[in-house]
Amino acid sequence: SYTTDTKSREENKKTIESLYSLSVDIKKIRRLKEWVLLQDVAYVKEIAGILQDMGADETAVANILERCPEAILRTPEEINSQRALWQLVCQNEKQLIKLIEQFPESFFTTKYHQNQKANITFFQELGLKNNIITRFLTSAPNIFYNPVEKNKNVIETLQRNYLNLGGSDANMKIWILKLLSQNPFILLNNSTTIQDNLEFLQKNDFTDHEVLQLLSKLKGFIFQLNSTTMQKSMHFSKNVFNCSDQELKELVLKCPALLYYSVPVLEERLEGLRKEGISVAQIRKTPMVLELTTQIVQYRIKKLSALGYDVKSGNLESLNGTKKDFEVTYGKIQSKKERPIFNPVAPIHIED
């Protein structure tokens, strides 16, 4: 543990000189994490040496230490252990140093080394490819800080529920790996939350097959919800769309956003669509449009309007999907508009 009391302490001159010799922007460190410069012991040259040994040039070393100055407080032994650990899933040191440049905080968090090591082994045994594990290490490092038993417990709960809901043994591994790849943060939840949310859906008359459908469509977000917010969102949607319980169920299966977005978010998005002249009846036919933010909807309507396409009078399918999906739809509408009308069977008039 390091002290963050900056009032009664002076900067470590040796640390400052060592950082200066590496062309590190010391002002930047003072502004962001001055406490690092106050510590009695730092390993500036040693950590820089390890990074250089992995292939980092002078600029890369300076950038890494500016973004994560606490790296210099780790011992060389800790960093070498972390290096060996990350090499288990990296193709080579060139890829490793590139990841450290992009995500230094993830690499230099050495406190949970044993948990990280056990979890990497567990994920490999589970069947996750190394490139997915490296993505987890950088974008979702918290899941490696858990004791491996906790992560195993969450995975076992998912597997058990998948089979109980009618999923097959043959597909279970693929399903689990896909779910984890889409949303590794499900591992930060506990087994009780998972169980409670699934029971909530079953109590609301979703069949086992439908719950399984939702599990896949929600990409794991269902585990970050709770029954109170889901109940409020469903009640809100039922009133807005003036529909029966069965119709509401069908809408939720079409658009799980009605389940996982809070009432204020749904209200804001509905209001944004109404301001664009879109009716509630249109939204009910294509509820997936509520998955998009108001800004995205406005941008897409503007682009389509420029082509003479009026979403107010048609269906909203053209607004849906990812950025890539929309670009494909937009391209089709654009080419259709630009294509000359040609009738292949019309007679050709040739003047004599």
pLDDT band at 340 (very low <50, low <70, confident <90, very high): low
Average pLDDT over residues 5-26: 85
State pTM to two decimals. 0.76
pLDDT value at residue 337: 73
Please check whether residue 45 is in contact with residue 18, taking contact to mean a CB–CB distance below 8 angstroms.
yes
pLDDT > 90 in the chain, percent? 60
Question: Would you say residue 263 has pLDDT above 60?
Answer: yes
Q: Where are the domains of the chain?
A: 10-110
How does residue 344 score in pLDDT terms, banded at 50, 70 and 90?
low
Residue 3: is its pLDDT beyond 90?
no
Longest dimension (CA), the chain: 103
CA distance 121 to 100: 21
Q: For position 352, what pLDDT does the model report?
A: 38
DSSP state of 292: S
What's residue 21's pLDDT? Answer: 94
What average pLDDT does range 85-107 have in this prediction? 94
Question: Average pLDDT over the chain, rounded to whole?
Answer: 88
Measure the CA dihedral 276/277/282/283, to 10°: 40
Confidence band for 346, pLDDT divided at 50, 70 and 90: low
pLDDT mean over 320-336: 86
Whether the predicted pLDDT of 311 surpasses 50: yes
- Output the pLDDT for position 264: 95
* HEC letters along 180-239: HHHCHHHHHCCHHHHHHHHHHHHHCCCCHHHHHHHHHHCCCHHHHCCHHHHHHHHHHHHH
Q: What is the pLDDT of residue 240?
A: 93
Condensed to tens digits (0 to 9), the pLDDT of residues 127-180 reads 999 999 999 999 999 999 999 999 999 999 889 989 999 999 889 999 999 889
CA 117 – CA 326 distance, rounded (Å): 41
